[in-house]
Structures are given as C-alpha cells and as structure tokens.
Amino acid sequence: MADESFPPLRSFDAFSPRGLAGKREYVQSLEARGDREAAGLLVECLSDESGYLRDLAEAALVRLGAAAPPVLPMLASGLWYTRVSAARTLGRLGAREAIVPLMALLGDANQSVRRAGAEALQAIAQGDGELFVARVLYRRPEAERMRLVREIAAGARDIEARLADLLRHDEVMRAEEDELLSHDADVVRASADGVAWEVLTGPGRGGDR
C-alpha cells in the first residue's frame, strides 16, 4: 500500500509560478522523504528561477547531509544562479571533493559566481579542509597563489595566514595522499603551533627513526 503521509514527489510542478507557501511545502515534503529521488529533486530545484525555492532547497540539502556528487555537475551549469546555489550548497556541506571545480569558479565571468566560489572554499577551509584547499592552490602558478588566497580569505586574516603558511611547506604540498597523516587536522595544527613538519607517515615518524 502506498505511503499517503506525504504528497507524491511530483504532485505538482516545482518549476511553475506559484506561491511561496507552495514552494515551501514542496521542499518540506522532499526533505521529509529524504530518499535518493527526493534529494535529486532538491538538486533540480537549484536550477529554478525562484531564488526563494533555491534557498529552501540549499538548506534542505545541507540538513539532509546530501552527498556532493549530484550537486557537483551544477557547478558547470549555464545558469549563473545555479552555479551560485551549487557553490553555496557544497561549501555548507564542507565537500572537499568540490575544491577543484570550486577553484575553477574563481575565474568565472560572473562576479556573483566568483564570490560564491570563494566563500565556499573559505567555508571548506574553516571546516578542517584548509590543507586540501592549500594543496589545490599549490597547483596554480606561483604568481597567482597569494591573490587567490586573499580572494578566498576575503579579509578573514586567520584563514589567509593559515593558507599562506601551508603553501610554504613544499614537502607537504607535494606529498602523495597516502603519505599524509590519516587525520589531516593534526597537520594543520602543526602549522599553527609552529611544530616541525615531520608529520608524514613512513619510517621517519616518531620513534621509528
């Protein structure tokens, strides 16, 4: 027997002109379902012309802890506001797998998209992802790095200082993923505390010398 607790996922067209209450109820019904199909429809809402619906969908995806992959393609949308919504969602999710495409948004022709990309990268960095952000920055030409750091930090001096400090440690920036500590937050704390950067796995760690 069909579950009648919630309206069918497509009981009405989310992309047709309608009142704010209808948009809110639609997103609430999808969030309450919380399954893969519902999450996919919430992602589709990021392409809606209604900023209100996009905002609701972003917040719902974050509350659901949605996986980043379905949102990632939206960063390449031809609609600038969809790129903005996708960037904001991924930043709030702390999606490290989105760092590379978010970095690409810093060269977007649309100022709002560039700002959203920078804010998302800052959010990921603040959420214990600064090592990963720094490692992607390190791949950019050296002449561009500090400009991008300032753009991402947007006046947040702690983030700017931490990223700049991480970028100075070539051995960590160039290390293979499996050479890094399993808990990368320790690497970041080592930078902040001025601890020697002997934080890579292998024979040289700790008392195994």
Q: What is the pTM of this model?
A: 0.79
Check residues 73 and 19 and name the one with the higher pLDDT.
73
Predicted confidence (pLDDT) per residue in 65-110, tens digit: 877 889 999 999 999 999 999 999 999 999 999 999 999 999 999 9
Give the span between the Cα atoms of 108 and 104, in whole angstroms. 7
Domains of the chain (ranges; CATH) run 1-66 (no CATH), 69-177 (1.25.10.10)
Q: What is the mean pLDDT of the chain?
A: 82
Token pair, residue 96, equals 């490290």
- Would you state the pLDDT for residue 186? 53
Share of the chain above pLDDT 90, in %: 66
Q: Which amino acid is at 52?
A: Y
pLDDT band at 189; cut points 50, 70, 90: low
Give the span between the Cα atoms of 92 and 127, in whole angstroms. 9
| Residues 6+ away with beta carbon under 8 Å from 206 | none
Please say if the pLDDT value at position 185 is more than 90: no
Number of other CB atoms surrounding residue 138 within 10 Å: 17
Helix (DSSP H) and strand (DSSP E) numbers for the chain: 11, 0
- Would you state the pLDDT for residue 108? 97
pLDDT band at 52; cut points 50, 70, 90: very high
